[in-house]
Structure 1
Amino acid sequence: MNATRPRRFRTLFISDVHLGARGCQAGKLLDFLRNHEADTIYLVGDIVDGWALKSGWYWPQLHNDVVQKFLRQVRKGTRIIYIPGNHDEFLRGYYGTHFGGIEVVEQATHIAADGRKYLVVHGDHFDLVVTQARWLALLGDKAYDLALTVNRIFNAVRRWLGLGYWSLSQWAKLKVKNAVSYIGEYERALAADAKKHDAQGIICGHIHHAAIHDDFGIRYMNCGDWVESCTAIAEHQDGRLEIIQWLAENPEVEVPEFSEVRAA
C-alpha cells in the first residue's frame, strides 16, 4: 500500500473479478481499491463466481478482504451499485434490494459529469453462447480455467528465463479469427442496445476485453477483468473516462501488457 493519499474519482466501474475462482487476482484488486476511491462504484457483473464455487469451494482470506473493503467503502459514504452477471446470476432474484448497503439492480443508467448518458449492463444477455447454449458456455469456462493453469506454468518458466508475462487467452482472443469476430459482434450488439435506450454510450464487462471506442457510432466501454488484465474504467470529475490498468507491484503476481488504454 502506498503512503500517498488514494486518487479520487467521480465513478469507478469494475467487472469480472470472479471471487471464488482460483484465477482471481484479488490481491491486485484490493491494492487497487486501497489506492483509488470514488463517490460511486459500479460492480458490473461476475464479481463472485458462482459457477466456480459450485464445482469446488475456494474462498481464501484475500477474497473475503475484497468483500469487506467494499462494505467499508459503503459505510464511508460511497454508493455501490451491483449489476449481476451470468457467473453471479444467483443475485438476479434480489433486484431492488441491498446487501450491507450495496444496491442490486438489473441494469443502470449513469449520467456522467458532462451530461452524457451511459447504459450500464454486464452484457451476457447479448452473448448467444450463454443465452442459447449454456452447456457450451460452461465448457468454455472450464477451458478458460485450463488456459489460465497452463499460463501459470508457462509464465513461471518465462520468469525464470527473465522474460515478461505472455497471456495465452488474450493472444487467442486477438489472433484467432472467430474470437475477433465474436468480440466485434458482441460490441456491435451492445452499441445497438444503448441506442435503443437513447444513451450516448454503454459500459459493460463479460468478455474480459477492456476497450473504449466509438466504432459503432456510440461510445462502447468494457471494464476488462481482474483475472488477467486487471483493469477498471474511471470517470474523472469533468466526465472524462479512461481505462486504468493496475500493474503488479508484487513480482509473484503477473499482469499482461495492455495497450488499449484510451481516454474518452
Structure 2
Amino acid sequence: MARWPNAAIADTGAAMVQAIRSTRGSFSRLAQRLRGKPDVALQMSAAFAAFMPPQMDLPSSATAAPSALHPTSESASRPVAEGDAPTQRYRAIWLSDIHLGTPGCQATYLLDFLKHNDSDVLYLVGDIIDGWQLRRGWYWPQSHNDVVQKLLRKARKGTEVIYVPGNHDEAARQFDGMAFGDITVREDTVHVTATGKRLWVVHGDLFDGVVQHAKWLAHLGDSLYTMILALNRHFNRIRARLGFDYWSLSQYLKHQVKNAVSYINSFEHAMVDEARRRGCDGVVCGHIHKAEIREVDGQLYCNDGDWVESLSALVETMEGELKIVYWTTLIDPPEPVSRRRRRSATVAA
C-alpha cells in the first residue's frame, strides 16, 4: 500500500490537534455497563459484513470554472413541507467521517440527507465505519444499520458508489478494486467535474504525522475526543428543546486553538502538493472534520467535513459548481419514542 510524504504535518501542533480530533471510546463502554450490556469485543469484519452481499464471506484478517474557484457554502436548513419534500439531484456527492459504530455519529441527520439528495456518483471518503471504536466495544443501533442499507439501496438503484477507506476503517483497504453489494472499494480515485477539472479523492490520513508515526497518541486523542462529543450531544439536545438548529460546540472549541489552525493549514498544503504531483487540479478529502472549499497554492482544496460535528457534505451540481451543504435541520424528523410506543400498543390491542 502506497505511503505519501507528510513531513509538513509531523509537528507538535499536529499531535495536539489529532489528540483532540480523533476520539470515541471510554464513554461507550461506560454506557454499555450502565445499560447492563456485555462488553463484547467484536471484530471489524462484522461491521464490514453489512456492506457484503449475503453469499459473500469476508476474508480473514483541467481548468477550473469560475464557480469552482469561488464556490458557495449552502445551508440545507429549511422548513418542513407538507408531504414528501422534493429530492435534490447532484452530479456527485462526497461524504466522509460518518463514524458509524460510535455514539457521536449523527445517523438520523445523515439518513434525512440521503433521503432528500441523490447523485450520479456518491463518494464515501473514509471513516465511514469506526473500527477503532468497535474494537473497544460494540455499539451499533438500528439507525446505523439503516444508513448502511440506504447506501446499498442507492447503489442498487443506479448510483455509482465508491468507498475510499480512511484510518478508522483501514481494514477495508485490503479490498482495493473489489466491489461489494454494488459498492466499489478504492484506496484513492480521481473525479472529473463537468468543467473538466480533475480532483484527486482520498481520505487524507496518510498525510497526518500522528496517525502514521505515533498511533498510540492518536488512540489516546480518540478517547479525549469522545468526551468532547458527549458534551456536544447534551448541548445540542438542550438547543433542540429550545427550538434552535444543530450547532457544533466541539468544532467551535477545536478551532479556537491556535495550533489547530496551524495544523489545518499544513494539512491543506500537503494535500494540494500531492494532488499537483499526481497531475490533478485539486483534491477532495476528509479526515480533519473541517468542511472547506478554497484555492491553496493554485490548487483547489475541498474538504467535505464530517457527520459527527459539522453535518456537512460536498456536492457538485449538474453545471459543475462545487458547494458545501450543511444538513442541520431535519426535513422528516423521527417520531418521538413515546408516540411510537403508544401507537404500537394501540395496534397490538
Question: Paired residue for 1:32?
Answer: 113
Change (3 A) 1:114 1:146: same
Aligned to 1:153, the other structure's residue is in SS state helix
Question: Paired residue for 2:214?
Answer: 133
CA distance in 2, matches of 1:174, 1:242: 21
Question: What are the Cα deviations for residues 117-139 of structure 1, in whole angstroms up to 9, with x where unaligned?
Answer: 00000000000010010001111
Question: What are the Cα deviations for residues 92-149 of structure 1, in whole angstroms up to 9, with x where unaligned?
Answer: 1111111101000110011111100000000000000100100011111111111011
Q: Which amino acid aligns with 1:27?
A: T
Q: Which amino acid aligns with 1:201?
A: G
Match of 1:76 among 141, 157, 172: 157
Question: Paired residue for 1:260?
Answer: none
Tell me the CA shift for residue 238 of structure 1.
1.5
Question: Paired residue for 2:104?
Answer: 23
CA distance in 1, matches of 2:245, 2:91: 34
Asked if structure 2 preserves the Cα contact closer than 8 Å seen for 1:45 and 1:82, the reply is: yes
Q: Which amino acid aligns with 1:94?
A: F
Question: Paired residue for 2:174?
Answer: 93
Aligned to 1:30, the other structure's residue is in SS state helix
Asked if structure 2 preserves the Cα contact closer than 8 Å seen for 1:172 and 1:179, the reply is: no
Change (3 A) 1:160 1:58: same
Match of 1:202 among 283, 286, 305: 283
1:213-224 superposed matches below 5 A: 213-224=294-305
CA distance in 2, matches of 1:50, 1:107: 19
Aligned to 1:175, the other structure's residue is in SS state coil
TM-score by length of 2: 0.69
| 1:9 and 2:90 are equivalent in the alignment | yes
Asked if structure 1 preserves the Cα contact closer than 8 Å seen for 2:204 and 2:287, the reply is: yes
Change (3 A) 1:28 1:153: closer
Q: Which runs of 4+ in 1 moved over 3 A?
A: 153-168
CA distance in 2, matches of 1:67, 1:13: 16
Question: Paired residue for 2:47?
Answer: none
Question: Paired residue for 2:272?
Answer: 191
| 1:60 and 2:141 are equivalent in the alignment | yes
Unaligned runs of 5+ in 2: 1-79, 336-349
Between Structure 1 and Structure 2, how many residues are aligned? 252
Q: Which amino acid aligns with 2:145?
A: N
| 1:174 and 2:255 are equivalent in the alignment | yes
Question: Paired residue for 1:229?
Answer: 310
CA distance in 2, matches of 1:34, 1:153: 26
Unaligned runs of 5+ in 1: 253-264
Identity value in percent:
52
Change (3 A) 1:117 1:166: closer
Aligned to 1:199, the other structure's residue is in SS state coil
Asked if structure 1 preserves the Cα contact closer than 8 Å seen for 2:245 and 2:329, the reply is: no
Greater Rg, structure 1 or structure 2?
Answer: 2
CA distance in 1, matches of 2:245, 2:264: 26
CA distance in 2, matches of 1:233, 1:241: 7
Tell me the CA shift for residue 170 of structure 1.
1.2
Question: Paired residue for 1:110?
Answer: 191
Tell me the CA shift for residue 183 of structure 1.
0.7
CA distance in 2, matches of 1:164, 1:100: 35
Q: Which amino acid aligns with 1:89?
A: E
Aligned to 1:63, the other structure's residue is in SS state helix
| 1:143 and 2:221 are equivalent in the alignment | no
RMSD of aligned alpha carbons: 1.9
Change (3 A) 1:113 1:162: closer
Question: Paired residue for 1:255?
Answer: none
TM-score by length of 1: 0.90
Q: Which amino acid aligns with 1:19?
A: L
CA distance in 2, matches of 1:159, 1:247: 11
Tell me the CA shift for residue 163 of structure 1.
6.9
Tell me the CA shift for residue 32 of structure 1.
0.3
Question: Paired residue for 2:204?
Answer: 123
